[in-house]
Structure 1
């Protein structure tokens, strides 16, 4: 009896398992609902061809337009002046920058001037007897001869006899020897060639200065130049006097400059041409790094877009009836962030921002104020 009951229960269990498996299989065959197709919203812009100003970016550091490297042509001890010879010290034009002790050399100059005076005085009796017609002008020269002043120019000799007589006494050679010594004496005082500021000082008061030694650097802080290297393609576009907008690296200060010079040759290694931009501003300093934007040329019937909108093969995306398409374009100028394009018909709707994963034939929805919540 027990065996019969167990057989019946086993059969029922098998039947129940069969129906349960059928139920589970039928439930798994139900189709999932199709996902709703998402249409991306894109930012667009309408093409309006116009004249585009092509601006060439460049950068460089400022250098004083007028600068002097100071060197000594004589030897001596650096004497203390009215101002300390230190970087940042300002001087007026003609003011002494450096005074070198010239007391020993000054004595030799005075000795040569005295010898010249004595040589002329020695021939005066002969001039009175043999050349009475020129005696007075030489007497006037002697009367105006001052050892403490620069040696005056010799009187003009009007006849050959006078010339032979004066030259034969060695007066002309003595005169030029004195003038040569006076010229060298002037080198013991180095004066400011223009109003400016000392930017480098390599000697101090009391030090011994040697012939040919560099003493420092002196600049005019009122005008600076910036050297920029540009592609040879713009050689014919650069013009002297062209206005240039400049700014510092932080873009917190703006300056106005002008192209002052353009090099007449192209660098053979880099194929670039050098231009110099002059800029004046009281806040500028030598060595300051600036960015410049040069107006190279105007391109008519063109537009300017971001470079990241360009595709390989000089193509861009356009929107036609809410479908993306690709058209060919003619790029005429590339900058770091922008590109100037031509041959795009007016009224063409183009993307103004790149769309990740975009492809030709992709359905899109142009951005408007009413669908802004979908973005």
Structure 2
């Protein structure tokens, strides 16, 4: 009985082994599924080499081209004028900005002028007797002498004898002393050198002004300049008179300026050259921050693409027979978002937008825009 049971179990084991072996053989010979080819749709562009202008971005603050810092060269009380000395006050050329009380100093000037007049009057009898040929011109000078006006220039001395006589009486010395006092007297009044506006006032009417004290600032609000720093590589290219496009930070206003000056030296620390852009507009104010685009030069037979289309190996992706390939390119100029390239043949089909995971040999197809217009039935 035991032998019969072992025989039956042996037969069942053999049968099971046969079935398992057959199943393994069938699974091994089963064909593997074929992976479907993935074709990436890409945006393309066809190369057409042209002349690319190199635009240099720069920025800076506006400052008035005509600016005067007002300082006092005399001491005295600040007297009221026809206009309040306050920021924002407009003045025309020649109008009085500041008037310092000069009553005491004026009296000393008048005293010196009177002494000069008396000195000349004292020599007139001697001139009539000893120098009758020059008497008349000195008499005319004395007649035109007005203590309330600026001292006129002394008559021209025509001979050595006349020169010795006039100099010996101390008249020339007295004359230049008076002119010196008159020159200083003029410093008690500061007039507007041009039509402009007061932007800073550091004193008020009635306050004591001291010698050397800063009084304020006066500018011409019609013409402004913006100082920008340009890379030294463009130092020999940037030209005076170049037109410059300027925009504000909000990109809502556009102004047109021109390069008025270019510094002849390069900053040793930053290796940049300073250029000054002149701009005129009634909407501009001193201190405004503007962005400028300067046309430095033009590159012939070149193209401009996005910087992210240029690989680290200075190559770009091109499309040949529906496959991606790489082509070496020569970058000429980099901006914040663009790069100018040379040595890319005309007619070459390149990527217009970057493709994630792109590699040479990748299967792609150009994106074709559907321009068919669907007309709705009425």
Calculate the TM-score normalised by the size of structure 1: 0.90
SS in 2 for 1:153: coil
Mapped partners of 1:169, 1:260: distance in 2: 56
Flag the 1:188–1:371 CA change in 2: closer, same or farther, 3 A: closer
- Does 1:349 pair with 2:334? no
Q: What is the match of residue 63 of structure 2?
A: 63
Mapped partners of 2:107, 2:175: distance in 1: 17
Q: What is the match of residue 316 of structure 2?
A: 316
Q: What is the match of residue 270 of structure 2?
A: 270
Residue 370 of structure 1: CA displacement? 5.0
Q: What is the match of residue 337 of structure 2?
A: 337
Q: What is the match of residue 149 of structure 1?
A: 149
Mapped partners of 2:210, 2:295: distance in 1: 50
Mapped partners of 2:169, 2:243: distance in 1: 65
Residue 218 of structure 1: CA displacement? 0.8
SS in 1 for 2:175: helix
Q: Where in structure 2 are the equivalents of 1:142-291 lying within 5 Å? A: 142-291=142-291
Q: What is the match of residue 106 of structure 1?
A: 106
Q: Deviations over 1:131-170 (max 9, x none)?
A: 2222221111111111000001111111111111111111
Query: Is contact 2:38–2:363 with CA below 8 Å preserved after alignment?
Result: no
Q: What is the match of residue 325 of structure 1?
A: 325
Q: Where in structure 2 are the equivalents of 1:107-146 lying within 5 Å? A: 107-146=107-146
Q: What is the match of residue 4 of structure 1?
A: none
Mapped partners of 1:32, 1:177: distance in 2: 116
Residue 37 of structure 1: CA displacement? 3.9
Q: Deviations over 1:204-228 (max 9, x none)?
A: 1111100000111111111111111
Residue 322 of structure 1: CA displacement? 1.2
SS in 2 for 1:238: coil
Flag the 1:32–1:89 CA change in 2: closer, same or farther, 3 A: farther
CA RMSD between the two structures: 2.4
Mapped partners of 2:75, 2:33: distance in 1: 100
Mapped partners of 2:52, 2:99: distance in 1: 59
Residue 38 of structure 1: CA displacement? 3.0
Q: Where in structure 2 are the equivalents of 1:32-51 lying within 5 Å? A: 36-51=36-51
Residue 33 of structure 1: CA displacement? 5.9
SS in 2 for 1:183: helix
Q: What is the match of residue 365 of structure 1?
A: 365
- Does 1:79 pair with 2:79? yes
SS in 1 for 2:263: strand
SS in 2 for 1:178: helix
Q: Deviations over 1:210-255 (max 9, x none)?
A: 0000111111111111111111111111111111111111111111
Flag the 1:99–1:109 CA change in 2: closer, same or farther, 3 A: same
Mapped partners of 1:127, 1:287: distance in 2: 65
Residue 32 of structure 1: CA displacement? 9.1
Mapped partners of 1:353, 1:205: distance in 2: 67
| Structure 2 unaligned spans of 5+ | 1-8, 373-378
Q: Where in structure 2 are the equivalents of 1:290-301 lying within 5 Å? A: 290-301=290-301
SS in 1 for 2:77: strand
Query: Is contact 2:98–2:189 with CA below 8 Å preserved after alignment?
Result: yes
Mapped partners of 2:110, 2:291: distance in 1: 57
Residue 200 of structure 1: CA displacement? 0.8
Residue 36 of structure 1: CA displacement? 3.9
